[in-house]
């Protein structure tokens, strides 16, 4: 499993329009091969900033499968004009050694 993380800075005052467009665009995302789930969080500290988290089967599911798909062109059309600057995207893998088994770690 891979976690894609992107901070989305939206042009000032365009958050309502971005959210409406994302409501449509997330259907494209959810229909992609290798997609597991996603979350969009709005910043509590900065207006017009969001955090997009997407869980994929693999990095290739995102970078090749999604980005090279015809559906990605619609994703771009719906969302990319809202970004300023364009988001930096990173991929993360679980740090298994940090996990505490269920029921353990209680004091």
Whether the per-residue pLDDT at 99 is higher than 70: the answer is: no
Extract the tokens encoding 9. 């800075």
Q: What percent of the chain has pLDDT over 90?
A: 87
How many Å separate Cα 52 from the centre of its chain?
Answer: 3
Split at pLDDT 50, 70, 90, the class of 96 is confident
Give the pLDDT of residue 107.
Answer: 55
Question: What are the tens digits of pLDDT across the range 38-93?
Answer: 999 999 999 999 999 999 999 999 999 999 999 999 999 999 999 999 999 999 99
The CATH class of 2-92 is alpha beta
- pLDDT the model gives residue 102: 65
Tell me which residue of 86, 76, 105, 79 sits closest to 9, measured CA to CA.
86
Query: CB within 8 A of 15, min separation 6: which ones?
Result: 42, 47, 48
Tokens found for residue 69? 């798909």
3-24 per-position pLDDT tens digit: 999 999 999 999 999 999 999 9
Q: What is the model's pLDDT at position 104?
A: 63
Kindly list the domain boundaries of the chain, sorted by start residue.
2-92
């Amino acid at each position: 499993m891979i976690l894609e993380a992107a901070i989305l800075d939206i042009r000032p005052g365009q958050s309502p329009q971005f959210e409406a467009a994302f409501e449509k665009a997330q259907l494209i995302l959810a229909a992609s091969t290798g997609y597991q789930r996603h979350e969009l969080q709005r910043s509590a500290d900065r207006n017009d900033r969001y955090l997009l988290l997407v869980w994929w089967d693999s990095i290739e599911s995102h970078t090749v499968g999604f980005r090279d798909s015809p559906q990605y062109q619609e994703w771009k059309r719906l969302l990319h004009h809202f970004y300023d600057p364009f988001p930096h995207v990173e991929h993360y893998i679980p740090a298994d050694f940090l996990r505490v088994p269920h029921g353990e770690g209680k004091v």
